[in-house]
Structure 1
């Protein structure tokens, strides 16, 4: 539990202190069910070189330091240790001249949504399914007071810890990550903004998931929801077979109109579609830092408008809604 001590202390002093009644027990369960590679990942993070810099850019590439602030040997050590945390899915990052070119160009997603959301200035923000935490740093750039990420992936936790460890103390104190899932959240009603991106289609009960997201928002708080959609009217929902774009755990893909209808039925107000885009192989692709199959392998080689299974190729919508 030591790796969460600072964040738990921050939680007690935050508007979300009710969370402390359930979270420590959930974190304790993590230690009983850790990934077989967890010890390797923990060792890699513990051995990272002792580098820090006040020269930080929380921009499209989250950058800490520059080439002059690390030696070639330190950069080689950095690359060797961070390579043990592959696959890196959300980014990109640049650490003291070392570029981590992640599978997703997460900056492109941020560019599509940032001008359509309510200002994050001074806000308490939750990112559900935050991965390595890339968007947490962008939320701080946008003025958030504190950002809280959750994702049950143990690897994502160590990636976040690796990046956070190089950040200035002032930023470290404002960014937190707990390796738990959305289903564990109590009805806190304390967050100004809740982001849920790339999660809903993995939930067997999307309506229950949306209701849970609503329960952690303050009155008039904003949900920023990004998910896979299909074309159609408000009654169109695709339930794919065993796989969709080679993913096994995809359950419900609504049309954007159906998604807005779901939100309305749950009592959300001021529902807006701020983006709808087909995912490209320039945005999601294999790299040195994610060497497995990626989107190009999941699409029909003769028609990139179709998945390899014959479904409509991935389209993602961003919708905002108020509690």
Structure 2
């Protein structure tokens, strides 16, 4: 399903291609042949109509693939069934041949926060950690990078990427169904790394930042977006059991604490470019997720707190430069 052979043209990626192919093949074999959820997603993928979109647009907040006129009624019905079978759609939004896919997160809001501070990506290698369905990768593609590589280990989101990328057919945009620790250490490779909505899920955030630094070209830019606690203290919140009903949230630092982490992991020129409270305009329940969302995670009597009594989600976007080591 992947177009990994195309990476052979990239001198930094080519030496690692055999290892990447083995890792991706093993994961895809699991998804397509043994994992029940993966097999169900594969069946949904097979329902996608074979059609070439008349035009695409990845430069708008709602990424557009084709138009409704590209499909007959039968094809449109099959497409809707396939896209529904790939739920939940966490990131977006998309317009897929006239079908509006309203994702839980309006990812355009975060992208526009980033785009205001993003230098030219022309000719650069970009890595998106936890790429989900590829929304940010597709938006990045219009900036003419040499390579946009995503890693996304969760089957649902990986299959969503396969569905969308199959119609978009954007050269040099790839996603691998791998975790960060499964990615070969391609030292000093990436000029830009996006790590957005990931760090608080990691049990050892400093080890994660060190892994990221190894992958970055000297002078490369890290875009780090994560939950924070407000205030100037040099500390991090470590939830007792759950945060916003999630049991996979570990460290939520202050911006000062986060800056210290980055500095100790080899980053310089650390600057916070945005702090935003998460609101229902950005994250909400839609027909495309069938699960709870932000308002279900907050105290109904005091939306400034989570249901557990912690401060409600606030996110910071921090840019940092990889110093040579």
Q: TM-score range by the shorter chain?
A: over 0.9
Aligned length: 316
Name the CA distance, whole Å, in 2 between partners of 1:268 and 1:18.
27
Query: What RMSD over aligned residues (CA atoms) do the two structures have, in Å?
Result: 1.4
Deviation of 1:95 (Å): 1.0
Counterpart check, 1:222 vs 2:221: yes
Post-superposition CA distance 1:81-103 (Å, at most 9, x none):
11001101000010111110001
When normalised by structure 2's length, the TM-score is 0.93
Post-superposition CA distance 1:224-266 (Å, at most 9, x none):
1111110133521000011100111001000011111111112
Residues 1-323 of structure 1 aligned to structure 2 (within 5 Å)? 3-4=1-2, 6=3, 8-14=4-10, 15-31=12-28, 33-34=30-31, 35-58=35-58, 59-167=60-168, 169=169, 171=170, 173-188=171-186, 189-323=188-322
Post-superposition CA distance 1:55-86 (Å, at most 9, x none):
11112111011122222332221111110011
Name the CA distance, whole Å, in 2 between partners of 1:160 and 1:309.
34
Stretches of structure 1 lacking an aligned partner (at least 5 in a row): none
Name the CA distance, whole Å, in 2 between partners of 1:251 and 1:259.
14
- Contact 2:213–2:266 (CA under 8 A) maintained in structure 1: no
Post-superposition CA distance 1:103-139 (Å, at most 9, x none):
1000000011111122212211110000011110000
Name the CA distance, whole Å, in 2 between partners of 1:28 and 1:51.
26
Q: Look up the SS of the partner of 2:110 in the other structure.
A: helix
Post-superposition CA distance 1:127-165 (Å, at most 9, x none):
000001111000012332321110111111110011111
Name the CA distance, whole Å, in 2 between partners of 1:74 and 1:33.
29
Deviation of 1:17 (Å): 2.4
Name the CA distance, whole Å, in 2 between partners of 1:159 and 1:38.
12
- Contact 1:48–1:81 (CA under 8 A) maintained in structure 2: yes
